[in-house]
Structure 1
């Protein structure tokens, strides 16, 4: 049990401003779960919500000197968390819009000129690239790209760490990018990856 578990938010903020890490831990313990459920309503993703909460609490620690002691801590944390969630939503919307524009452009180009590769050929070409990956990289890639699982979900299913999943995913993408570039198809690599 934290030494400051009975303290009020205002008392914890006073201690926090004095660089007291135990007070920060008490705030973390009190607010983490509340902020997580709050973020989950916006983001509908466990992983994204967890990241938003951690970012909000890191923001609290790094800007602790600027916090007003009489300001309600909950309102402060919810405001930060909401801003971070909305930033993630905007970022995802921009990414999706860019991906759709790129795909539409590719379709326009492919319809207006002779098709260099149709989608079936592109998928077959990608399958050849997948054969160059280790079995574990192939598995992680397929679970991520074809099944739409998050890194955390893949880690849980394969009983490996999230960091190992990230490593396999990065290596798989690197190998596939080289495979596409070797045939002068690097632009198609990004189009194909964005549609998965």
Structure 2
């Protein structure tokens, strides 16, 4: 004779009824989970968690529907929880991955900028002294052609010539960068 009460009155779980419930419904719970998950090992863990929770809550739990419906609902909720946690985990990994890529890109850009800066400084050092002086005053100090001409006591046309010469030299020696 069954130790389970009918669906109309609440079911209290005892050790004997738990064993009976497990024997009657573990396959059904497994099938519900397996149909959605497809991984036998993961599904076994889920079934174990469902029945473990049922046993741990046996004193406060009152099942007012059929035990089978309760367990099927628990299995569906467990599957939903699995997919929700999997989605959260995936989003977390994507976020971490994008932060890592950003950090790598930042580092890569810093290295490239430093390398370009060193190459540029080296190329500027190789310019003739007057050309170098005019170019630095223009690009590094931000002086106008008129101010440079006044400082160096040369014509504005000569300043333009030196800047053009410097830019041509840099463009020729740094073809991968547009100046």
SS at match of 2:20: helix
Q: Name the structure 2 match of 1:185.
A: none
SS at match of 2:32: helix
Q: Does 1:91 find its partner at 2:85?
A: yes
Unpaired segments ≥5 residues, structure 2 = 110-179
Partner residue of 1:7 out of 2, 13, 16: 2
TM-score by length of 2: 0.51
SS at match of 1:10: coil
* Alpha-carbon separation, structure 1, partners of 2:81 and 2:63: 27
Alignment length (residue pairs): 107
Change (3 A) 1:112 1:34: same
Partner residue of 1:21 out of 10, 15, 33: 15
TM-score by length of 1: 0.47
Kept in 2, the 8 Å contact 1:39–1:82? The answer is yes
Give 1:90 shift: 0.7
The structure with more radius of gyration: 2
User: Pairwise CA RMSD of aligned residues?
Assistant: 2.7
* Alpha-carbon separation, structure 2, partners of 1:108 and 1:67: 50
Change (3 A) 1:55 1:93: same
* Alpha-carbon separation, structure 2, partners of 1:102 and 1:67: 40
Give 1:35 shift: 0.5
Unpaired segments ≥5 residues, structure 1 = 1-5, 116-196
> Over residues 57-94 of structure 1, what are the superposed CA-to-partner deviations in whole Å (9 max), with x where a residue is unaligned?
12222233445465211111111121122111111111
Q: Name segments (4+ residues, structure 1) moved above 3 Å.
A: 65-70
